[in-house]
Amino acid sequence: MPESSSSALPPAPAVATRPSQPAPLTLGFDADDTLWHNETLFASAHQKFHALLASHHDPATVERALYATELRNLPLYGYGAKGFTLSAIETAIELTGGRVSSSELHALLALGRDILAHPVELLEAVPDTLAALGAAGHRMLLITKGDLRHQERKIEASGLAPHFLAAEVVSEKDEATYARLLRRHGVAPERFLMVGNSLRSDIAPVLALGGLAAHIPYPLTWEHEKLAELPSAPGRFFTLGSIRELPALVARLAVAEGA
Ligand SMILES: [Mg+2]
Protein backbone atom coordinates (compact mmCIF):
# COMPACT_ATOMS: atom_id res chain seq x y z
CA MET A 1 0.00 0.00 0.00
CA PRO A 2 1.42 3.40 -0.97
CA GLU A 3 2.57 5.53 1.90
CA SER A 4 0.42 8.43 0.68
CA SER A 5 -2.77 6.48 1.29
CA SER A 6 -4.56 7.74 4.32
CA SER A 7 -5.73 4.22 5.12
CA ALA A 8 -2.08 3.26 5.63
CA LEU A 9 -1.54 5.82 8.37
CA PRO A 10 -1.23 4.31 11.80
CA PRO A 11 -4.08 5.17 14.13
CA ALA A 12 -3.48 8.30 16.11
CA PRO A 13 -2.15 7.56 19.57
CA ALA A 14 -5.03 7.12 21.98
CA VAL A 15 -3.69 9.87 24.21
CA ALA A 16 -4.17 12.52 21.50
CA THR A 17 -7.91 11.94 21.14
CA ARG A 18 -8.74 11.11 24.75
CA PRO A 19 -10.45 13.76 26.85
CA SER A 20 -8.04 15.48 29.26
CA GLN A 21 -7.12 13.31 32.21
CA PRO A 22 -7.27 14.38 35.85
CA ALA A 23 -3.85 15.37 37.15
CA PRO A 24 -3.46 15.37 40.94
CA LEU A 25 -3.24 18.75 42.64
CA THR A 26 -1.38 19.74 45.76
CA LEU A 27 -3.88 20.85 48.39
CA GLY A 28 -2.97 23.14 51.27
CA PHE A 29 -5.21 23.03 54.35
CA ASP A 30 -5.50 25.66 57.02
CA ALA A 31 -6.11 24.04 60.41
CA ASP A 32 -7.85 26.34 62.93
CA ASP A 33 -11.54 26.67 62.00
CA THR A 34 -10.95 24.67 58.82
CA LEU A 35 -10.12 21.22 60.25
CA TRP A 36 -10.98 21.82 63.91
CA HIS A 37 -12.85 24.36 66.04
CA ASN A 38 -10.80 27.27 67.37
CA GLU A 39 -12.48 30.69 67.24
CA THR A 40 -15.29 29.53 69.53
CA LEU A 41 -12.68 29.04 72.29
CA PHE A 42 -11.33 32.56 71.79
CA ALA A 43 -14.86 34.01 71.67
CA SER A 44 -15.61 32.34 75.00
CA ALA A 45 -12.36 33.69 76.49
CA HIS A 46 -13.25 37.19 75.27
CA GLN A 47 -16.65 36.99 76.98
CA LYS A 48 -15.01 35.97 80.26
CA PHE A 49 -12.54 38.84 79.84
CA HIS A 50 -15.44 41.29 79.38
CA ALA A 51 -17.09 39.92 82.51
CA LEU A 52 -13.87 40.26 84.48
CA LEU A 53 -13.62 43.96 83.62
CA ALA A 54 -17.37 44.66 83.68
CA SER A 55 -17.09 46.85 86.80
CA HIS A 56 -14.62 49.12 84.96
CA HIS A 57 -15.87 49.35 81.35
CA ASP A 58 -18.65 48.16 79.05
CA PRO A 59 -17.93 45.09 76.86
CA ALA A 60 -17.55 47.11 73.63
CA THR A 61 -14.85 49.34 75.18
CA VAL A 62 -13.04 46.33 76.63
CA GLU A 63 -13.18 44.53 73.27
CA ARG A 64 -11.89 47.57 71.38
CA ALA A 65 -9.00 48.03 73.79
CA LEU A 66 -8.07 44.33 73.69
CA TYR A 67 -8.10 44.26 69.89
CA ALA A 68 -5.90 47.37 69.72
CA THR A 69 -3.44 45.78 72.15
CA GLU A 70 -3.39 42.50 70.21
CA LEU A 71 -2.71 44.29 66.91
CA ARG A 72 0.06 46.35 68.50
CA ASN A 73 1.66 43.21 69.90
CA LEU A 74 1.28 40.92 66.88
CA PRO A 75 4.73 41.75 65.42
CA LEU A 76 6.31 40.81 68.77
CA TYR A 77 4.14 37.96 70.05
CA GLY A 78 2.78 36.47 66.84
CA TYR A 79 -0.57 34.64 66.69
CA GLY A 80 -2.04 32.28 69.26
CA ALA A 81 -3.25 31.86 72.81
CA LYS A 82 -0.04 32.94 74.54
CA GLY A 83 0.02 36.28 72.72
CA PHE A 84 -3.68 36.69 73.51
CA THR A 85 -3.01 36.08 77.22
CA LEU A 86 -0.23 38.67 77.41
CA SER A 87 -2.36 41.20 75.53
CA ALA A 88 -5.33 40.51 77.83
CA ILE A 89 -3.16 41.14 80.90
CA GLU A 90 -1.74 44.34 79.38
CA THR A 91 -5.25 45.56 78.49
CA ALA A 92 -6.54 44.79 82.00
CA ILE A 93 -3.70 46.79 83.56
CA GLU A 94 -4.47 49.73 81.25
CA LEU A 95 -8.26 49.66 81.68
CA THR A 96 -8.08 49.42 85.48
CA GLY A 97 -5.44 52.12 85.80
CA GLY A 98 -3.09 49.51 87.25
CA ARG A 99 -5.56 48.33 89.92
CA VAL A 100 -6.07 44.80 88.53
CA SER A 101 -5.65 42.33 91.40
CA SER A 102 -3.46 39.24 91.50
CA SER A 103 -6.57 37.03 91.62
CA GLU A 104 -7.83 38.76 88.47
CA LEU A 105 -4.43 38.23 86.82
CA HIS A 106 -4.69 34.58 87.82
CA ALA A 107 -8.09 34.41 86.13
CA LEU A 108 -6.60 35.97 82.98
CA LEU A 109 -3.81 33.41 82.89
CA ALA A 110 -6.46 30.69 83.20
CA LEU A 111 -8.25 32.04 80.12
CA GLY A 112 -5.17 31.41 77.99
CA ARG A 113 -4.33 28.11 79.64
CA ASP A 114 -7.89 26.84 79.05
CA ILE A 115 -7.52 27.53 75.31
CA LEU A 116 -4.14 25.76 75.20
CA ALA A 117 -5.40 22.75 77.15
CA HIS A 118 -8.73 22.37 75.35
CA PRO A 119 -9.15 19.07 73.49
CA VAL A 120 -9.17 19.17 69.69
CA GLU A 121 -12.69 19.06 68.26
CA LEU A 122 -12.69 18.21 64.57
CA LEU A 123 -15.17 19.87 62.23
CA GLU A 124 -17.77 17.63 60.68
CA ALA A 125 -16.71 15.25 57.86
CA VAL A 126 -13.03 16.23 58.01
CA PRO A 127 -11.37 12.78 58.33
CA ASP A 128 -13.54 11.20 55.61
CA THR A 129 -12.95 14.10 53.24
CA LEU A 130 -9.18 14.01 53.69
CA ALA A 131 -9.21 10.24 53.18
CA ALA A 132 -11.20 10.60 49.95
CA LEU A 133 -8.86 13.29 48.60
CA GLY A 134 -5.81 11.19 49.49
CA ALA A 135 -7.34 8.14 47.80
CA ALA A 136 -7.86 10.25 44.66
CA GLY A 137 -4.10 10.83 44.56
CA HIS A 138 -3.87 14.45 45.69
CA ARG A 139 -0.91 15.55 47.81
CA MET A 140 -1.86 17.45 50.94
CA LEU A 141 -0.01 19.96 53.10
CA LEU A 142 -1.20 21.34 56.42
CA ILE A 143 -0.32 25.04 56.74
CA THR A 144 -1.14 26.75 60.02
CA LYS A 145 0.03 29.69 62.10
CA GLY A 146 0.04 30.21 65.86
CA ASP A 147 2.02 29.01 68.86
CA LEU A 148 4.37 26.28 67.61
CA ARG A 149 3.90 23.91 70.54
CA HIS A 150 0.13 24.38 70.63
CA GLN A 151 -0.22 23.75 66.89
CA GLU A 152 2.06 20.69 66.99
CA ARG A 153 0.06 19.26 69.87
CA LYS A 154 -3.25 19.85 68.06
CA ILE A 155 -1.93 18.23 64.88
CA GLU A 156 -0.85 15.20 66.90
CA ALA A 157 -4.10 15.03 68.90
CA SER A 158 -6.25 15.44 65.79
CA GLY A 159 -5.10 12.11 64.37
CA LEU A 160 -5.03 13.78 60.93
CA ALA A 161 -1.23 13.92 60.48
CA PRO A 162 -1.03 10.71 58.36
CA HIS A 163 -3.08 12.40 55.63
CA PHE A 164 -0.45 15.10 55.11
CA LEU A 165 2.85 15.07 53.29
CA ALA A 166 4.01 17.73 55.75
CA ALA A 167 2.65 20.00 58.45
CA GLU A 168 4.01 23.53 58.25
CA VAL A 169 3.61 25.78 61.30
CA VAL A 170 4.49 29.31 60.21
CA SER A 171 4.48 32.68 61.97
CA GLU A 172 2.69 34.52 59.15
CA LYS A 173 0.61 33.34 56.17
CA ASP A 174 1.49 35.90 53.52
CA GLU A 175 2.69 35.74 49.92
CA ALA A 176 6.32 35.31 50.92
CA THR A 177 5.48 32.37 53.19
CA TYR A 178 3.37 30.57 50.58
CA ALA A 179 6.00 31.19 47.87
CA ARG A 180 8.66 29.69 50.15
CA LEU A 181 6.51 26.64 50.97
CA LEU A 182 5.59 26.02 47.32
CA ARG A 183 9.26 26.21 46.33
CA ARG A 184 10.24 23.86 49.15
CA HIS A 185 7.66 21.28 48.10
CA GLY A 186 8.26 21.75 44.37
CA VAL A 187 4.70 22.88 43.62
CA ALA A 188 3.75 25.29 40.81
CA PRO A 189 1.20 27.87 42.10
CA GLU A 190 -1.31 26.97 39.37
CA ARG A 191 -1.29 23.35 40.62
CA PHE A 192 -1.93 24.42 44.24
CA LEU A 193 -5.32 24.81 45.90
CA MET A 194 -5.41 26.36 49.37
CA VAL A 195 -8.41 25.56 51.56
CA GLY A 196 -9.26 27.69 54.57
CA ASN A 197 -11.64 29.90 56.51
CA SER A 198 -9.60 33.10 56.48
CA LEU A 199 -9.78 35.38 53.45
CA ARG A 200 -6.74 37.31 54.65
CA SER A 201 -4.47 34.36 55.53
CA ASP A 202 -5.64 31.44 53.42
CA ILE A 203 -7.13 32.95 50.28
CA ALA A 204 -5.77 36.38 49.23
CA PRO A 205 -2.01 35.60 49.31
CA VAL A 206 -2.45 32.34 47.36
CA LEU A 207 -4.58 34.03 44.69
CA ALA A 208 -1.94 36.77 44.42
CA LEU A 209 0.66 34.11 43.63
CA GLY A 210 -1.52 32.69 40.83
CA GLY A 211 -2.81 29.74 42.85
CA LEU A 212 -6.30 28.39 43.46
CA ALA A 213 -8.25 28.94 46.68
CA ALA A 214 -11.35 27.48 48.31
CA HIS A 215 -12.90 29.55 51.10
CA ILE A 216 -14.96 27.63 53.64
CA PRO A 217 -16.33 30.25 56.05
CA TYR A 218 -16.55 29.39 59.75
CA PRO A 219 -19.46 30.87 61.73
CA LEU A 220 -17.06 33.12 63.70
CA THR A 221 -14.14 35.08 62.29
CA TRP A 222 -11.55 37.07 64.25
CA GLU A 223 -11.64 40.70 63.08
CA HIS A 224 -8.04 40.56 61.89
CA GLU A 225 -8.74 37.69 59.47
CA LYS A 226 -11.51 39.55 57.61
CA LEU A 227 -11.18 41.39 54.30
CA ALA A 228 -13.39 44.31 53.31
CA GLU A 229 -14.12 42.75 49.92
CA LEU A 230 -14.17 39.24 48.54
CA PRO A 231 -11.20 38.62 46.25
CA SER A 232 -11.91 38.59 42.53
CA ALA A 233 -10.16 35.76 40.68
CA PRO A 234 -12.63 34.15 38.24
CA GLY A 235 -12.00 30.43 37.84
CA ARG A 236 -9.50 30.36 40.70
CA PHE A 237 -11.51 31.40 43.77
CA PHE A 238 -14.35 29.30 45.16
CA THR A 239 -16.60 29.54 48.21
CA LEU A 240 -17.88 26.29 49.70
CA GLY A 241 -20.56 25.75 52.33
CA SER A 242 -18.75 22.79 53.84
CA ILE A 243 -15.62 20.69 53.44
CA ARG A 244 -17.97 17.97 52.13
CA GLU A 245 -18.12 19.94 48.85
CA LEU A 246 -14.35 19.89 48.41
CA PRO A 247 -13.78 16.51 46.67
CA ALA A 248 -16.16 17.43 43.83
CA LEU A 249 -14.47 20.81 43.33
CA VAL A 250 -11.00 19.25 43.41
CA ALA A 251 -12.03 16.56 40.90
CA ARG A 252 -13.34 19.27 38.56
CA LEU A 253 -10.19 21.40 38.94
CA ALA A 254 -7.89 18.41 38.49
CA VAL A 255 -9.43 17.77 35.06
CA ALA A 256 -9.47 21.45 34.06
CA GLU A 257 -5.96 22.16 35.32
CA GLY A 258 -4.62 18.93 33.86
CA ALA A 259 -5.91 19.77 30.38
MG1 LIG B 1 -8.19 29.28 60.15
Question: Which CATH code fits 14-36+121-258?
Answer: 3.40.50.1000
* pLDDT above 60 for 43: yes
Q: Between residues 228 and 68, which one has the greater pLDDT?
A: 68
Distance 35 CA to ligand 1 centre (A): 8
Closest of 165, 240, 160 to residue 197, by C-alpha: 240
Q: For 116-156, what is each residue's pLDDT tens digit?
A: 999 999 999 999 999 999 999 999 999 999 999 999 999 99
Distance 209 CA to ligand 1 centre (A): 19
pLDDT per residue as tens digits for the range 179-199? 999 999 999 999 999 999 999
- pTM for the whole thing? 0.87
| Domain residue ranges of the chain, discontinuous segments joined by + | 14-36+121-258, 40-117
Q: How many CB atoms lie within 10 A of CB 38?
A: 25
Question: For residue 232, what pLDDT is reported?
Answer: 87
CATH class of the domain at 40-117: mainly alpha
**How many angstroms is it from 45 CA to the middle of ligand 1?**
17
Tell me, what's the pLDDT at 5?
42
Distance 1 CA to ligand 1 centre (A): 67
Asked if the domains at 14-36+121-258 and 40-117 fall in one CATH topology, the answer is no
- Phi, psi at residue 27, to the nearest 5°? -110, 130
Residue 222 CA, ligand 1 centroid: distance in Å: 9
Q: What is the mean pLDDT of residues 70-95?
A: 95
Which segments within 24-148 are labelled E, that is strand? 26-29, 139-145
